[in-house]
A = this chain, B = another copy of it.
């Protein structure tokens, strides 16, 4: 298995002529959060550093400082074997649009040995047909009707989806708690039954019916060993309390 860092190093976010420097900063922060360090700008003018840095925060400002800048999109995309264009849903069917998750599933195996770019258009107009001709994939985030994600949100979701797919494939199953064994559970149920009989919640006749219900409910919880012990502890304490209280209260009414 290829390690996650190699895969993340092969992915870059390319921003084509973003209008607002703040959005470049916000994109940098999200890239950083998701382990992506390649941020590339296509824009004739240098954006205001302070506005970018404010949104990037000190944690991601190095992405801004190391950012490559090009005048022409074609030059920015030159090193990439695969380019994923991103679009808002606009009704006009220019190309086959798929959700980022689907596309990432396709490109993930390629990321070990290929440089891949996520390409985002300007805030107001998005990518043109001419931009999309460089793209092997067109990604569209599903949204509710009339919705529009802003640039930073679109970058955020693409970076998150990529990072998630990468960690997911190398994720170890979370350590399952040690579930209570039948032996432990039966000991617990005997304790519960004893306590419920004591307080007359159960009687000899109905006890099997109610215990079956309680077993159903507790069975659904899938108790861990520790939790089964907690329940036993409560029953034990309760029974002890009942006994000593009874003795005490009996004594109270005892003649001195």
Contacts and interface: CB of A to CB of B under 8 A. Distances in A.
A21 interface: no
A166 to B, nearest CB: 9
A98 interface: yes
| Identical copies of this chain, number | 2
Interface string A59-91: 100000000000000000000000000000000
Nearest to A96: B174
Interface string A131-174: 00000000001111111111001001100100110010000001
A30 B153 contact: yes
A34 interface: yes
Contact of A32 (B144, B157, B167): B144
A130 to B, nearest CB: 20
A99 interface: yes
Nearest to A99: B164
A47 interface: no
A101 interface: yes
A35 interface: yes
In this complex, the member of A29, A98, A147 whose beta carbon has the largest number of chain B beta carbons within 10 angstroms is: A147
Contacts of A174: 96, 98
Which range contains the number of A residues in contact with the other chain? Answer: 20 to 34
Given A96-B174, A174-B96, A59 B146 contact: yes
A229 interface: no
A5 to B, nearest CB: 10
A33 interface: yes
A32 B160 contact: no
B98 A143 contact: no
Nearest to A30: B153
Contact of A163 (B101, B143, B146, B160): B143
A153 B98 CA distance: 22
Interface of A: 8, 29-30, 32-35, 59, 96, 98-99, 101, 141-150, 153, 156-157, 160, 163-164, 167, 174
Given A33-B153, A59-B147, 14 more contacts: A29-B150, A32-B147, A33-B143, A33-B144, A33-B147, A33-B148, A33-B149, A34-B147, A35-B143, A59-B146, A96-B174, A99-B164, A143-B163, A157-B157
7 contacts: A29-B150, A33-B149, A33-B153, A34-B147, A101-B164, A142-B164, A142-B167
